Copies of this chain bind each other. A is one copy, B any other.
Amino acid sequence: MKVSIIGATGYTGSELLRILFSHPEVEIANITSESQTGGNITDAYPHLAGCYDKKLTSMKDLSQFTDSQAVFIGLPHGHAMSIGKQLADQGIKVIDLGADYRFRDESVYEAWYKVPHTHLNSGAVYGLTELYREQIRAASIVGNAGCYTTASILALAPLAKYHLIDMKNIVVDAKSGVSGAGRGLSLNTHFTEMSENLKAYNIGGHRHTPEIEQALQELAGQEAIISFTPHLIPMARGILSTCYATLKEGVTPEAIDQAFYEMYGQEYFIRLLGRGGYPATKHTRGSNFCDLGWHIDTRTNRVVVVSAIDNLVKGAAGQAVQNFNVMFGLNETSGLKQVALYP
Contacts and interface: CB of A to CB of B under 8 A. Distances in A.
A203 B197 CA distance: 23
A171 B303 CA distance: 12
A295 B203 contact: yes
Interface in A274-314: 278-287, 289, 295-297, 299-300, 302, 304, 306, 308
Contact of A47 (B190, B204, B337, B340): B340
Contacts of A203: 295, 297, 304, 306
Nearest to A268: B50
A101 B237 CA distance: 38
Contacts of A51: 337, 339
A18 interface: yes
Interface string A196-231: 111111011000000000000000000001110101
Contact of A22 (B17, B193, B244, B337): B337
Contacts of A190: 183, 185, 189-191
A37 interface: no
Contacts of A302: 171, 204, 227
A234 B237 contact: no
Chain A: interface residue count, which band? 35 or more
Interface stretch (A54-62, A173-181, A323-331): A173-181
A175 B175 contact: yes
A300 B204 contact: yes
Given A197-B238, A304-B229, A244 B171 contact: yes
Nearest to A210: B299
A235 B339 contact: no
Nearest to A187: B185
A278 B201 contact: yes
A115 B219 CA distance: 46
Contacts of A273: 46
A10 to B, nearest CB: 11
A60 to B, nearest CB: 25
Nearest to A289: B50
A183 to B, nearest CB: 7
Contacts of A299: 204, 225
A48 interface: yes
B300 A235 contact: no
A45 interface: yes
Q: Lowest 7 A-B CB distances belong to which pairs? A: A204-B297, A197-B282, A173-B173, A47-B283, A199-B280, A185-B185, A18-B339
